[in-house]
Amino acid sequence: MAILANKDTKVICQGMTGAQASFHCEQAIAYGTQIVAGVTPGKGGIKHLSLPVYDTVARAAKETGADASLVFVPPRAAADAMIEAIDAEIPLVVCVTERVPVLDMVRVKRRLQDSDTRLIGPNSQGIITPEQCKIGIMPGHIHFPGKIGIASRSASLTYEAVGQCGRARLGQSSVVGIGGDPVYGLGFVECLELFLRDPETEGILLIGEIGGTAEEEAAAFIAAEKPKKPIAAYVAGLRAETGRRMGHAGTVNVFGKGAGAAKIEALKAAGVQVAPNAAEIGSTMRAALRG
């Protein structure tokens, strides 16, 4: 099975007529994803990639029955695009846009609280259910179906983890990039809840980083729930200097808060097997499955 997205998911793309969105939508369509329409204000009525383009998300959803939206909108307008999708009651919104202003994301989070929409991102590579549906910018060919659910803050480390799992013959049920920004939608805890409920997911892999409290929150959830499914993790950034941002807006270790060592300690205390380095992510997941 899968979480959040599968072969039946119908996807619209906000900003589809842009160059990057066009490229990645073409890749998604070739992968088998049901991209059904685009949304670009002022371009409603045209065809792009042989698909209809609408002025609004509400109209696109009504006409196509879409239940997911991929947001490829520049940072200054990304929050309004996400809010438009939330107001249109799209169940799943995936935002790959980087550098969305933090205060804009506070507005988005507030709107999410009164909705049934699930948001992945921003600054996310998206979500993929191998050989069924990919909503985002990840390379589809490195993923293959299996029973490992992966949630990650880092796109590049996700691809490394997927590659290592593949070499260990561990396919994936679904892979979710929660994004590397300080304010975001779906987090580790929500992903854990979904993977634990999925009968086809037999093991879970978390890829974390310094900064924020997502890993500590995941550890607290695991400690409280005591799940039977094995969970492995890797935390990047152990050698990052205090107070320096390392790539992602959310990867900041400030005065001991969000330190990698503390995250690892919390995860280990909760019973999670933590990879000692990036080269051993796949073998650590395999060891966790063996118990």
Active site residues: 248
d(CA 263, CA 258): 7
How deeply is 169 buried, as exposed, middle or buried, from its count of CB atoms within 10 A (0-12, 13-18, 19+)?
exposed
d(CA 153, CA 131): 22
3-state SS class at 235:
strand
3-state SS class at 162:
helix
Look at residues 194, 196, 177 and name the one whose alpha carbon lies nearest to residue 185: 177
**For residue 82, which phi and psi values (nearest 5 degrees)?**
-65, -45
- Name the helix (H) or strand (E) containing 94: strand 92-95
d(CA 38, CA 246): 34
Non-local CB neighbours of 228 within 8 Å, separated by 6+ positions: none
**Contact by Cβ (8 Å): 168, 148:** no
Specify which residues 150 forms β-bridges with.
175, 205
d(CA 191, CA 127): 11
Cα distance from N-terminal residue to C-terminal residue, the chain: 23
Non-local CB neighbours of 84 within 8 Å, separated by 6+ positions: 14, 56, 57, 58
